[in-house]
Amino acid sequence: MIVIIGENRTFDHVFATYQPKRGETIKNLLSEGIINEDGTPGPKYFLAEQSSATDTSDDGFQLSPGGKATYQILPAPFTDGTPSSASDTIPPPFATVAAAKKYEYGLEDSWYQYLTTGASGLPGGATVDTRITNAATLPPGPFQLTSSTMPYDSYAASPVHRFYQMWQQFDCSADKAKRRNPSGCTADLFPWVEVTIGAGSNGKPPSLPTHEGGTAMGFYNMAQGDAPYLKFLADRYAISDNYHQAVMGGTGANHAMLGTGDAIWFSDSDGNPAVPPHNELVAAGSKNAGVVDEIENPNAQPGTNNWYTQDGYGGGSYGSPSYGGGSYSNCADTSQPGVAAVVNYLKSLKRPVNPNCEPGHYYLLNNYNPGYYGDGRNAYADITNPNQTVFTIPPSTVRNIGDELIERKISWNYYGEQWNTYKANPDLNYVALDNTYCNICNPFQYSTSIMTKASGRAHLKDTLDLYQDIQNGTLPAVSFAKPDGYLDGHPASSKLNLFEGFVKKIVDMVQANRKLWKSTAIIVTFDEGGGYYDSGYIQPLDFFGDGTRIPLLVISPHSRGGHVSHVYTDHVSILKFIEANWRLRPLTGRSRDNMPNPKAAPVNPYVPLNSPAIGDLMDLFNFGRE
């Protein structure tokens, strides 16, 4: 099997108007009547309308704040992070195909043109994206991104996608729970969270714009030709319309959960739980100079509406010279900022949910560099290195799927694009023009058991090795494939069609090797929803999530026919599939792969009756088919 992981797209954001073959059903914006096939508001548009809210008190983080009022007009989507023009020296996009090919090798020849197109032609930052039709006067819900002035091939802004922001966007309360929606999450605060807190409060006053606006409500329209290759795959193979990111928040935490079935946490040099840097001074003259505070504090600052006290990268609370932004929470301690709101919600549900937080553990909630460089050196111990930063988690002892596969002598590799370049410059934990390997995306690079042994690091390879293994028929039993920052589909820095091109190259190569194709399943998904809106149900599993629905496709000779699975699944379902297929045990006694497969009523297949429960993806296959 090959697991291909893109970046930051929800199911409705991509499959909003997808219509499956006759006999199959789907839950998306079109089927729910929220939009029409042409992308305009549908008869039940009100189901997805968004609201503003009020949180100006000092009584802690509000998971479901009051003072709600439906927007009359959606906050305008901005261009924040979108490239204004092409350049051969500051991508993306490149000015010429020749430059694109110099730095990129993850596409078939005919796809390189898309690395040269799609710049906005507009200023970045707090600028209304006028390429979007009626951008300043949109109705208060989902809107179609694409039009004659903003083709599918365009770069677009990226919404906020951090842990406490996502919880708040979903507006969850046990008081709002219903039989069809027992989580009580109404998902109606997406733009409000973006415009009040955005990607991080640190180091800037709340009077400044957060640069996202209503970006989260944008969607593509497959009925009008958007995402054509993903539609091609969905029509011919199988997809899920009930697959979820495993953690509220961003890339790092979700990749870690994909590898471990659990959250990783801050530790000391002996691997014991420890307290992250908290109001600690780093000497002047260092790259990390300033006050470091890595513990999240999403409580609203006095005199503001929902402006978090401590969140994000760079800077601390407003008015302070702090440098380090929060990313850890001790969720076993309800006196910690933000924790009580989530834990009390979980405990108040009709079927109370165990937060699964161990005392004294500060869990990583967002994106920090992994504890090891590619050559196995301890990166956390090297924060005085001028190329390193405090945004690095110490090495992790949490057991991962690589450990289990090694013990059971089952072959596996993680193929990260640009790994070879990264290994040649192991101190660089930041993206450079010729070094777009994603270190936070590799769940095994956090791991002591993998990274401190040459035999463990031997399982980490470049996608160049993946292409060679496919051609030679030497692909291991389990493979993970991660594109680089140009092709991963991440909004602003990449495009969805570039991720389509990365997937297509791998699928075409596997299908060209007939013997390999007969025994291979290619699973295509995304790490998380990127903060985009989605109308699907989310099931509370523990303190960390689940999060929003994201696309999942299975391409295999045993998954033909356009089947749409409604079984509730998330990233840990990939681990459950590996374990079921190779008869492996759950990774630990507390990891999510211990959860049972869902049982659901036919009238509502999306909601497990035996919650918390996640499937093992087996229903996406028909192994009797040849």
Residue 337 in domain: no
DSSP E strand boundaries for 377-470: 412-416, 460-461
pLDDT of residue 434: 53
Query: Would you place residue 431 in the very low, low, confident or very high pLDDT band (cuts 50, 70, 90)?
Result: very low
Residue 400 has pLDDT above 90, yes or no: yes
pLDDT tens, residue by residue, 287-302: 555 567 789 989 988 8
In a domain, 612, yes or no: yes
Distance between CA 269 and CA 433 in Å, rounded? 33
User: pLDDT band at residue 318, thresholds of 50, 70 and 90?
Assistant: very low
pTM for this prediction: 0.94
- Each residue of 364-373: pLDDT tens digit? 999 888 999 9
What does the pLDDT look like over 516-556, one tens digit per residue? 999 999 999 999 999 999 999 999 999 999 999 999 999 99
**Is 126 domain-assigned?**
no
Q: What is the mean pLDDT of residues 423-431?
A: 62
Where residue 601 sits, what CATH number does that domain have? 3.40.720
| Average per-residue pLDDT for the chain | 90
Q: Which long-range contacts (CB under 8 A, 24 or more apart) does 382-389 make?
A: 382/427, 383/288, 384/286, 384/288, 385/427, 386/287, 387/427, 387/428, 387/429, 387/430, 388/287, 388/427, 388/429, 389/287, 389/288, 389/429
Q: Please list, in sequence order, all residues whose beta carbon lies within 8 angstroms of the beta carbon of residue 488, skipping any fewer than 6 positions away.
A: 6, 7, 438, 482, 494, 498, 499, 502
C-alpha angle 537/306/255, rounded to 5°?
A: 45
**What does DSSP say about strands 243-244 and 569-570: parallel, antiparallel, or unpaired?**
parallel
pLDDT computed for residue 294 by the predictor: 86
Q: Which of 274, 461, 446, 450 is nearest to 370 (CA)?
A: 446
Residue 212: pLDDT band by 50, 70, 90 thresholds? Answer: confident
Residue that is written with structure tokens 């936070």 in the block: 440
Q: Is residue 603 one of the residues assigned to a domain?
A: yes
Q: Give the residue-averaged pLDDT of 200-204.
A: 60
Partnered with residue 364 across adjacent β-strands are 328
- DSSP character at residue 427: T
- Residue at 502 is within a domain: yes
Supply the range of the domain harboring residue 480. 238-274+363-620
Residue 626, pLDDT score: 47
pLDDT tens, position by position, 329-352: 999 999 999 999 999 999 999 999
Q: Residue 293 carries which DSSP code?
A: E
Per-residue pLDDT of 103-141, as tens digits, reads 899 999 999 999 999 999 998 777 899 999 999 999 999
Q: Would you tell me the crossing angle of helices 251-260 and 571-581 to the nearest 10 degrees?
A: 20
Residue 553 C-alpha from the chain's centroid: 16
Q: Report residue 329 as tokens.
A: 């929470």
User: Of 173-187, 315-329, 405-419, 429-443, which gets the smallest average pLDDT?
Assistant: 315-329
pLDDT of residue 124: 79
Q: Is residue 19 part of a domain?
A: no
Q: How many domains does the chain have?
A: 1
Average pLDDT, stretch 202-225? 80
Going by pLDDT thresholds of 50, 70 and 90, the confidence category of residue 321 is very low
Say if 499 falls within a structural domain.
Answer: yes
Tell me: the pLDDT tens digits for 571-607?
999 999 999 999 999 999 999 999 999 999 999 999 9
In a domain, 415, yes or no: yes
284 vs 573, higher pLDDT: 573
**Residue 56 banded pLDDT, cuts 50, 70, 90:** confident
Question: What percent of the chain is modeled with pLDDT above 90?
Answer: 77
- Judge whether residue 281 has pLDDT over 90: no
Angle between helices 496-512 and 228-236 (to 10 degrees): 40
Positive or negative: CA dihedral 527, 530, 536, 537: positive
- Say how far apart CA 576 and CA 592 lie, in whole Å: 9
- Mean pLDDT calculated for residue range 193-215: 72
